């Protein structure tokens, strides 16, 4: 029969080993590689674009994007629940809009590890890697019914 101290030692070792295995599984299997979201200011008239992006956990702060330039951020999508969401406000003279710039349900399979967006007056336009252009622009303030239905041909 085992002594109580040996049982405690074996149980402790088993718990430490189990913790390490769970940590490795979480790191490798349940987390996606980093995703980058790139936002380009393609507004006409040479105006700066002020954006403020955040998720329920991260506030990325206010950013000012000069005309024809970009700003980007990185994160790891939630592989288990597929519920990662980053939303932004977009402002320029006499305009203020909102948009879900990264919706894991919409974007995980369509843009992979790099989601590129061009911001136009009518709404943000995702990069179409097949046609090698910004295409199928989305409307601003899209409600749940419209979120997955882009406006075709808004920006070519």
Mean pLDDT of the chain: 82
For the chain, domain boundaries: 1-30, 35-134
The architecture CATH gives domain 35-134: Sandwich (2.60)
- Neighbour tally for 77: CB within 10 Å: 21
Under 8 Å between Cβ of 119 and 49: yes
Summarize pLDDT for 104-144 with one digit per residue, the tens. 999 988 898 999 999 999 999 999 999 999 988 999 975 54
By CB atoms closer than 10 A (0-12, 13-18, 19+), residue 139 is: middle
What's the rounded Cα separation, in Å, for the pair 55 and 66?
23
pTM of the model: 0.72
Comparing CA positions, the residue from 30, 35, 21 lying closest to residue 73 is 35
């Amino acid at each position: 029969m085992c002594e109580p101290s040996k049982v405690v030692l074996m149980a402790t070792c088993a718990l430490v080993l189990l913790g390490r295995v769970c940590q490795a599984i979480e790191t490798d299997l349940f987390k996606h590689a980093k995703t980058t979201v790139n936002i380009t200011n393609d507004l006409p008239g040479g105006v700066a674009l002020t954006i403020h992006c955040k998720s329920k956990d991260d506030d990325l702060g206010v950013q000012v994007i000069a005309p024809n330039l970009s700003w980007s951020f990185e994160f790891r999508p939630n592989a288990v629940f597929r519920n990662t969401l980053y939303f932004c406000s977009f402002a320029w003279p006499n305009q203020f809009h909102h948009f879900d710039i990264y919706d894991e349900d919409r974007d995980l399979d369509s843009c992979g590890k790099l989601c590129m967006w061009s911001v136009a007056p009518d709404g943000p336009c995702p990069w179409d890697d097949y046609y090698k252009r910004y295409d199928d622009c989305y409307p601003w303030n899209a409600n749940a019914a419209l979120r997955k239905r882009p406006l075709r041909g808004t920006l070519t």
